[in-house]
Amino acid sequence: MPKISVIVPVYKVEKFLPKCLESLINQTLKDIEIICINDGSPDNSLKILEEYAKKDSRIKIINQKNAGPSVARNKGMAAASGEYIGFVDSDDWIDSDFYEKLYAAAKKYDADIAAAGIIKSKRFKGNINYLNFETIECTEDTYKKYILCNIPDKCYIWNKIYRTSEMKKQNLQFVPDIYYEDMPFSCEALLYLKKLVVVPGTFYYYNRLNSNSIVKTTSKSKKKKSDSDYADKKVFEIFDKNNINIEHHYDLKKYKLFGITLLKIKYFKTRRECKLFNIIKFNLPNRRKNTLIDK
């Protein structure tokens, strides 16, 4: 049994895929399997996968007709044989000791989930830390798990590993054919998998330079807006059903002119977090009732 099964959905990423695969095959933790799901990619991604699979027997390729990342990840989970499961998007990359540190911490603390920091790579702003854990911390408290992982604001799946047996026991799956599929999945994983450990000193690099990413190429689609609303609804249903009332609950309002977002307002229980032109950030008291919290 491999220590970790890494699941990589692949679609139209020929420019970025080699860097992703290099970061995986050069992990200091060698006992991993790399399950790449070719999601009907029309470019040279499959050819790149086949070239790497010839060089490294740990790479397994699953081909499917284009069905989206949710179906690809579900198929990868079904094929996974590792003790833990990790997810990497095929235009991203990870530090060489990423899985070694996460696995060591998960085993030491008998954790069902181990989480690392995230660095966003942007062309004009350099590298920006999303989550940067400074010390190891372990908890079984759902409230604390959500706070540590900044849920629901940062519902990321790929900076973590998950105990495979618990994933299958809880029958955790991604909802097919929607964008933002990681939001409800992340909330359910942190809710149902018992213990979380956060691990400093290693990072997942989230690539914001890929102009062909699903989110960017569908940024103005009606489906994206509909799926965003659906994902938000599912997340808050999870919170409400399990009586999880934390400061991270918020309503989000956007005010646009000619398709450009001028102002974002997050309504928390006691304050309003405002962002003007996505640059200037300030807080104001919240004078309205937040129906998601103050029922």
**φ and ψ of 271, to 5 deg:** -150, 165
Expressed as residue numbers, the domain containing 292 is: 250-295
- On whether both 170 and 291 belong to a single domain, the answer is no
Average pLDDT over residues 86-113: 98
Average pLDDT over residues 238-244: 84
DSSP 260-289: EEEEEEEE-SSEEEEEETTTEEEEEE--S-
Question: 45-55 vs 17-25: helix axis angle to the nearest 10?
Answer: 20
pLDDT of residue 260: 83
The C-alpha atoms of residue 199 and residue 103 are separated, in whole angstroms, by 10
- On whether both 205 and 254 belong to a single domain, the answer is no
228 within domain boundaries:
no
129 within domain boundaries:
yes
Average pLDDT over residues 112-132: 83
The rounded percent of the chain whose pLDDT value lies above 90 is 61
Q: Say if residues 101 and 197 touch (Cβ distance below 8 Å).
A: no
- On whether both 84 and 199 belong to a single domain, the answer is yes
Nearest C-alpha neighbor of 245 from the set 156, 142, 125: 142
Question: 182-192 vs 222-241: helix axis angle to the nearest 10?
Answer: 20
Residue 288, pLDDT above cutoff 60 = no
**Token pair belonging to 97:** 């000791």
- On whether both 131 and 263 belong to a single domain, the answer is no
- On whether both 168 and 270 belong to a single domain, the answer is no
- On whether both 24 and 74 belong to a single domain, the answer is yes
pLDDT of residue 289: 43
Average pLDDT over residues 121-136: 78
pLDDT digits (tens, 9 = 90+) for 148-170: 998 888 899 999 999 999 999 99
Domain boundary among 210, 235, 262: 210
- On whether both 61 and 144 belong to a single domain, the answer is yes
- On whether both 190 and 268 belong to a single domain, the answer is no
pLDDT digits (tens, 9 = 90+) for 182-240: 999 999 999 999 999 999 999 999 986 655 554 444 445 788 888 888 888 888 788 88
pLDDT of residue 175: 93
pLDDT of residue 74: 98
pTM for this model (two decimals)? 0.82
- On whether both 201 and 263 belong to a single domain, the answer is no
Tell me which range, 85-99, 112-126, 135-149, is most confidently predicted by mean pLDDT. 85-99
Contacts of 213 (CB under 8 A, 6+ apart): 91, 207
**Token pair belonging to 55:** 């060089």
Helix, strand or coil, per DSSP, at residue 4: strand
Answer with the residue of higher pLDDT: 125 or 181. 181
64 within domain boundaries:
yes
DSSP 79-119: H--SSEEEE--TT-EE-TTHHHHHHHHHHHTT-SEEEEEEE
- On whether both 107 and 167 belong to a single domain, the answer is yes
Number of structural domains found in the chain: 2
Residue 273, pLDDT above cutoff 80 = no
- On whether both 199 and 262 belong to a single domain, the answer is no
Residue 271, pLDDT above cutoff 70 = no
Report the chain's mean pLDDT, rounded to a whole number.
87
Q: Say if residues 116 and 133 touch (Cβ distance below 8 Å).
A: yes
Helix, strand or coil, per DSSP, at residue 127: strand
pLDDT of residue 293: 32
- On whether both 266 and 132 belong to a single domain, the answer is no
221 within domain boundaries:
no
**φ and ψ of 162, to 5 deg:** -130, 135
Domain boundary among 159, 192, 210: 210
The C-alpha atoms of residue 117 and residue 204 are separated, in whole angstroms, by 6
The C-alpha atoms of residue 96 and residue 99 are separated, in whole angstroms, by 8
